[in-house]
Amino acid sequence: MDILNALVAFLNFVFIPGLTYGAQLALGALGVTLIYGILRFSNFAHGDTMAFGTMVTILVTWWFQSIGITAGILPTALLALPFGIAATAALVLATDKAVYQFYRRQKASPTILVIVSMGVMFVMNGIVRLIIGVDDQNFADGGRFLISAGEFKSATGLAEGLAIKGTQAVTVITAFVVVAALFWFLQKTRTGKSMRAFSDNEDLALLSGINPDRVVQVTWILAAALATIAGVLYGLDKSFRPFTYFQLLLPIFAAAIVGGLGSPLGAIAGGFVIAFSEVVLTYAWKKVVTYVLPESLAPDGLLQLMATDYKFAVSFAILILVLLFMPTGLFKGKSF
Amino acid sequence: MSKNAKLFLGVAVLYLATGLLISWNQALFILNFALVSAIMALGVNIQWGYAGLFNTGIMGFAALGGLSVALVATPPVREAWAAGGTGILAGLGIGLATLAAGITLWKRMVPGRNRALALTLVLLAGFVIFRMVFDPAVTAVEAVNPSVSGNLGGLGLPVLLAWPLGGLLAALAAWGIGKTALGLRSDYLAIATLGIAEIIVAVMKNEDWLARGVKMMNVQQRPWPVPFEVDLQANPTFLNLANSLGFDPVTGSSILVKLTYMAMILAVLAGIIWLSERALNSPWGRMMRAIRDNEDAARAMGKDVTRRHLQVFILGSALAGVAGAILTSMDGILNPGTYQPLRFTFLIWVMVIIGGSGNNWGAVLGSLLIGWLWLIVETLGPTVMSGITAGMADGPLKAHLVDSAQHMRLLTMGVILLLVLRFSPRGLIPEK
């Protein structure tokens, strides 16, 4: 019985939050990795692209709510999501035309492109703060809990409750569908194949008649869609605040690099590695351990490896370790 | 008159106009901010302009400089030292020893499963012992008078010492970071340093025993190089002077304090510019540029690229530390929450790129210009926005627009940076 309680506590406080956060990071990291694979630079503006997409989605959600459209048990934001994606795609395509295209034609070095993306980051950050402000925005509605702790306790008779928030379920399912669709697109469609060819060997791809402009455009649209979905899921699960999204850039980069920049599969693995390490290292294990160990061995301390405030530090520490010892990442991305 | 002198004159006009049209107090405030930023910008210029190192961790080094003010200038808390000082020092010692043991192990043993296993064991054991020694000491220290101290306090030395020591602290950290991260290629270096800076600030926020964390720390108690406004306003000589010259003593004292700071910052800045210019035009400077332009060729000529990179990384970061110390001693308060990458890292980068990377005068000009713009948009933004929206009916939309006008500055910075990168990538004062 105690083992069961320990398992439920583990699921409730470690596994489910880690899975949800991991799914959000994986989607963000997929966008970063796609841009790196095709356009060959680390996009510092990705966090703010996420913020922009989420902002548009929030605005449309509010509009829907005000005219009485809701998605029933699901969050209304899911209905607004396509609008967010469309607006973000338009924004990044315009940015590409106005800004990045020039440097691509010049064959500028990746470092210059990173600095340029810093400029884009400032602009997008400014736009988001100008339109929606800097405060927390909560836009989650629909069913609160899939399973609530009380129901679970009375149904199973266990001392520990298991709560699954609606937004957590929505995050995991949406992420799964999006990733499946993305991989289908990359593996099966003509455009997806040409993208992979372009990423593998640009010259060879150009030689075989692949239109580079089209590949770049599709990449930006995919990145915008992934960024918006990741941002909205994160915002539904926690809350939306422009500054938090800027900070998310770092765990997302960590996830993409840990998995191997340029490798979509790696981005997903990296997202979960980062998320679970953050949760596992900052969770106070006392509760779980108390259930498993006999009473005489019960721990005195919280058994917390690090204070919760060091969550971000954990992801950077892993990032730095991977950069030093395994620069191509888990899935052999492009190191040079 | 040369083009560069005209540019500096133009910026001077901006500051004079601010003084005449808004207030001298405001103009001096912006000027001091820009001058401190110029020191950081010189640091970035040494790293990026001379050597091509992409360091986005300026915020972390500035934060360390700020920390040094608290550690140098505040009086020690004797009770806290008695309660847990030795424990904390021992804990830190154990932590460092574990890391050193791990590194030696990694270097000495043959690669393979045994090495990985041994390393994991050493690190795990070290971590457990570290927590066993460190945690009770921290609890004891933080329990000492938590509403006003709860930390170990500083050395109780004059605050001016904190400026060079802040540089030294940042240099030490840069040595450790450079040793591990400088081998990375440039965009990875940028991401790694961005992360390390966040870690430094996270440590300062959470380790209350060090400098009270987010509870903030007043660092104004020690012998101060500059008089306090309040003391000046009570000083009969100053009041007489204010009377005879006919200015308001409150504004006057504030301006006098700012002028004193300005003189001190200018002295530091002038020294740094002189040294950087000498370095840039010396054989060392030529070597750095050679390494920047073609690393392989420089290596083939027998230059130790790794060592030179480390050297320049330490020098540039030390300047950021000095600037951070000046800023904190000027604010009189250490608040780790104010360290934000947009303001302390990316804004400095904008300054360097717009001014002209590779040119020290360019970095200074960029700081004066961008520093002015950054703060003036904050002041003028809402006024301008109320002007624009004057015709609109009062309502939530108008209020929102006026409120958010101060965020215009991010947008403005971004647009300026993109325009300069596109149309004048070498900046206002290009490298010679």
Within chain A, residue ranges assigned H as helices are 2-10, 16-39, 46-66, 77-95, 101-106, 110-132, 149-156, 166-188, 190-200, 202-207, 212-237, 242-259, 264-282, 286-292, 311-325
Residue A147, Cβ density class (10 Å: 0-12 exposed, 13-18 middle, ≥19 buried): middle
Q: How many CA atoms lie within 13 A of B286 on its CB side?
A: 3
B188/A129 Cβ within 8 A: no
Residues B52, B54, B59, B60: is their CA dihedral positive or negative? negative
Residues B133, B134, B139, B141: is their CA dihedral positive or negative? positive
Q: Which residue of B has its CA nearest to A122?
A: B414
Residues A128, A130, A135, A141: is their CA dihedral positive or negative? negative
> What was the pLDDT predicted at A184?
94
Contact status, residue A31 vs residue A320, Cβ threshold 8 Å? no
Q: What whole-number distance in Å separates Cα of residue B182 and Cα of residue B55?
A: 10
Residues from chain A that touch B417, judged by Cβ atoms under 8 A, are: 118-119, 122
Return the domain boundaries, chain B.
3-76+153-423, 77-152
B417/A122 Cβ within 8 A: yes
Contact status, residue B139 vs residue A307, Cβ threshold 8 Å? no
- Pairs of CB atoms within 8 A across A/B: 125
Q: Which of B186, B194, B425 sits opposite A111 (nearest CB)?
A: B186
* Best of B123, B185, B191, B193 to mutate (most A CBs within 10 Å, chain A): B191
**Token pair of A332 as six digits:** 């052999």
* Least Cα separation, residue B186 to chain A (angstroms): 7
Q: What whole-number distance in Å separates Cα of residue A311 and Cα of residue A254?
A: 13
Q: How confident is the model at residue A335 (pLDDT cuts 50, 70, 90)?
A: very low
Q: How many CA atoms lie within 13 A of B130 on its CB side?
A: 16
A114/B195 Cβ within 8 A: no
Fold (topology level) of A2-325: ABC transporter involved in vitamin B12 uptake, BtuC (1.10.3470)
**Residue A1 reports pLDDT greater than 80:** no
B422/A114 Cβ within 8 A: no
Task: Give the pLDDT confidence of A276-331 residue by residue, as tens digits.
Answer: 999 888 887 777 777 777 766 666 666 777 777 788 788 888 887 887 777 788 87
A122/B350 Cβ within 8 A: yes
**Token pair of A171 as six digits:** 């995050």
Residue A74's alpha-carbon distances to A62, A146, B367, in angstroms, are 15, 11, 50
Q: How confident is the model at residue A203 (pLDDT cuts 50, 70, 90)?
A: confident
B192/A323 Cβ within 8 A: yes
Contact status, residue A22 vs residue A271, Cβ threshold 8 Å? yes
Residues from chain B that touch A121, judged by Cβ atoms under 8 A, are: 346, 414
Contact status, residue B255 vs residue B24, Cβ threshold 8 Å? yes
Contact status, residue B170 vs residue B318, Cβ threshold 8 Å? yes
Chain centre distance of CA A146: 22
B353/A121 Cβ within 8 A: no
A99/B202 Cβ within 8 A: no
Q: How many CB atoms lie within 10 A of CB A124?
A: 30
Task: Give the pLDDT confidence of A255-277 residue by residue, as tens digits.
Answer: 998 988 888 899 999 999 999 99
Q: Which residue of B has its CA nearest to A117?
A: B418
A320/B180 Cβ within 8 A: yes
Residues from chain B that touch A104, judged by Cβ atoms under 8 A, are: none
Residues from chain B that touch A118, judged by Cβ atoms under 8 A, are: 346, 349, 417
Q: What's the CATH architecture for B3-76+153-423? A: Orthogonal Bundle (1.10)
Residue B206, Cβ density class (10 Å: 0-12 exposed, 13-18 middle, ≥19 buried): middle
Of residues A80 and B82, more confidence is placed in A80
Residues from chain B that touch A255, judged by Cβ atoms under 8 A, are: none
Radius of gyration of chain B (CA): 24
Residues from chain A that touch B413, judged by Cβ atoms under 8 A, are: 122, 126
Rounded to the nearest integer, the mean pLDDT of chain A is 87
SS3 of residue A67 by DSSP: coil
B421/A116 Cβ within 8 A: yes
Span between the terminal Cα atoms of chain B, in Å: 18
Residues from chain B that touch A327, judged by Cβ atoms under 8 A, are: 184, 188
**Residue A217 reports pLDDT greater than 90:** yes
Q: What whole-number distance in Å separates Cα of residue B267 and Cα of residue B261?
A: 10
Q: What whole-number distance in Å separates Cα of residue A227 and Cα of residue B385?
A: 31
Q: Which residue of B has its CA nearest to A307?
A: B206
Residues from chain B that touch A254, judged by Cβ atoms under 8 A, are: 195
Task: Give the pLDDT confidence of A142-187 residue by residue, as tens digits.
Answer: 777 877 877 887 887 777 778 888 889 899 999 999 999 999 999 9
Q: Which residue of B has its CA nearest to A254?
A: B191
DSSP 8-state assignment for residue A137: B
* Best of A40, A96, A118 to mutate (most B CBs within 10 Å, chain B): A118
* Least Cα separation, residue B130 to chain A (angstroms): 11
Residue with tokens 């910075």: B413
Over its length of 432 residues, how does chain B's per-residue pLDDT go in tens digits?
688 899 999 999 999 999 898 888 889 999 999 999 999 999 999 999 888 899 999 999 999 999 999 888 888 888 888 888 888 889 899 999 998 998 888 888 888 888 888 888 998 899 889 888 888 888 888 888 777 777 887 788 888 888 999 999 999 999 999 988 887 878 888 888 988 898 899 899 888 888 887 777 777 766 666 777 777 777 788 888 877 877 777 888 888 888 989 999 999 999 999 999 999 899 999 999 999 988 899 999 998 999 999 999 999 999 999 999 999 988 888 888 889 888 899 999 999 999 988 899 999 999 999 999 998 887 777 777 777 777 777 777 777 777 777 778 888 889 999 999 999 889 999 887
Contact status, residue B166 vs residue B330, Cβ threshold 8 Å? no
Q: Which residue of A has its CA nearest to B116?
A: A325
ipTM over 0.90: no
* Best of B418, B419, B420 to mutate (most A CBs within 10 Å, chain A): B418
Q: Which residue of A has its CA nearest to B194?
A: A250
Residues from chain A that touch B120, judged by Cβ atoms under 8 A, are: none
* Best of A115, A117, A246 to mutate (most B CBs within 10 Å, chain B): A115
Residues from chain B that touch A317, judged by Cβ atoms under 8 A, are: 199
- Nearest partner of A227 among A84, A18, A64, judged by Cα: A84
B418/A99 Cβ within 8 A: yes
Return the domain boundaries, chain A.
2-325
Q: What is the pTM of this model?
A: 0.90
* Best of B130, B187, B340, B351 to mutate (most A CBs within 10 Å, chain A): B187
A42/B411 Cβ within 8 A: no
Q: What whole-number distance in Å separates Cα of residue B431 and Cα of residue B298?
A: 20
At position A223, the amino acid (one-letter code) is: A
